[in-house]
């Protein structure tokens, strides 16, 4: 999807990533809400289709923690932090880096889902959890999957600006010069 939609929409399939790009000053404020709402609409339509196809399935793929809520919250923040840091890092810089951006991002998502999925669900995407919860309806522990990815994405921005002041955030060069 990154390679097929990247030129059209930046492949912002995750509202937390959109918010992270906005915080990095790499996405215009007036486009954040339409992007988030379009992702939520698409996710709700997909969940409604799952409801039609699998009417007896109670959860419809809703994300749920298997352990304590705090454990899943912290994991989701960290997973999204790593994901957003990788996305910000590979979407700037040399042409070779951008060519492999889809591979890098997809690999991070796959690896994180592989090791953390059984523990917290490895959502890293608010609408990926919100839509099935709304359609099923099962809102238990939803707060984790709506807040943690956004927090993780926002926390990745200063980390990227600190480690890559030349390209991660617009205006980061001025901030880095002021700090030295």
Task: Write the secondary structure of the chain as one string of H (helix), E (strand) and C (coil).
Answer: CHHHHHHHHCCCCCHHHHHHHHHCCCCCHHHHHHHHHHHHHHHHHHHHHHHHHCCCCCCCCCCCCCCCHHHHHHHHHHHHHHHHHHHHHHCCCCHHHHHCHHHHHHHHHHHHHHHHHHHHCCCCCHHHHHHHHHHCCCCCCHHHHHHHHHHHHHHHHHHHHHHCCCCCCCCHHHHHHHHC
What separation in angstroms does the CA of 147 have from each of 2, 29, 125?
Answer: 24, 20, 10
* Of 15, 51, 37, the residue nearest 135 (C-alpha): 51
pLDDT score of 102: 80
Q: Which of 65, 50, 54, 172 is nearest to 119 (CA)?
A: 65
| Residue the block writes with tokens 């523990």 | 119
Candidates 8, 16, 9; CA nearest to 109 is 16
Compute the radius of gyration of the chain from its Cα atoms: 17
Residues 6+ apart with CB under 8 A from 126: 14, 15, 16, 145, 146, 149, 150
pLDDT tens for the chain, 180 residues long, are 666 665 655 566 799 999 999 999 988 999 999 999 999 999 999 999 998 999 888 777 788 899 999 999 999 999 999 999 999 988 875 554 567 778 888 899 999 999 999 999 999 999 999 999 988 888 889 999 999 999 999 999 999 988 877 767 765 444 444 333
pLDDT (0 to 100) of residue 169: 74
CATH superfamily for domain 2-179:
Glycerol uptake facilitator protein. (1.20.1080.10)
What pLDDT is recorded for position 173? 45
Instruction: Say what the pLDDT of residue 78 is.
Output: 97
pTM reported for the whole predicted model: 0.85
């Amino acid at each position: 999807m990154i390679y097929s939609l990247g030129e059209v929409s930046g492949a912002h399939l995750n509202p937390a990533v959109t918010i992270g790009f906005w915080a990095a000053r790499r996405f215009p404020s007036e486009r954040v809400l339409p992007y988030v709402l379009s992702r939520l609409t698409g996710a709700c339509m997909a969940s409604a289709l799952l409801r039609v196809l699998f009417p007896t399935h109670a959860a419809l793929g809703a994300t749920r923690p298997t352990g304590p809520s705090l454990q899943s919250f912290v994991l989701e923040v960290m997973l999204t932090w790593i994901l957003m840091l990788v996305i910000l890092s590979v979407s700037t810089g040399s042409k070779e880096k951008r060519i492999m951006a889809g591979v890098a991002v997809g690999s991070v998502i796959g690896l994180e889902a592989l090791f953390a999925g059984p523990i917290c669900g490895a959502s890293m995407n608010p609408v990926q959890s919100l839509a099935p919860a709304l359609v099923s309806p099962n809102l238990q522990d939803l707060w984790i999957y709506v807040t943690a990815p956004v927090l993780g994405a926002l926390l990745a921005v200063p980390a990227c600006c600190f480690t890559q002041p030349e390209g991660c955030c617009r205006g980061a060069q001025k901030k880095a010069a002021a700090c030295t």
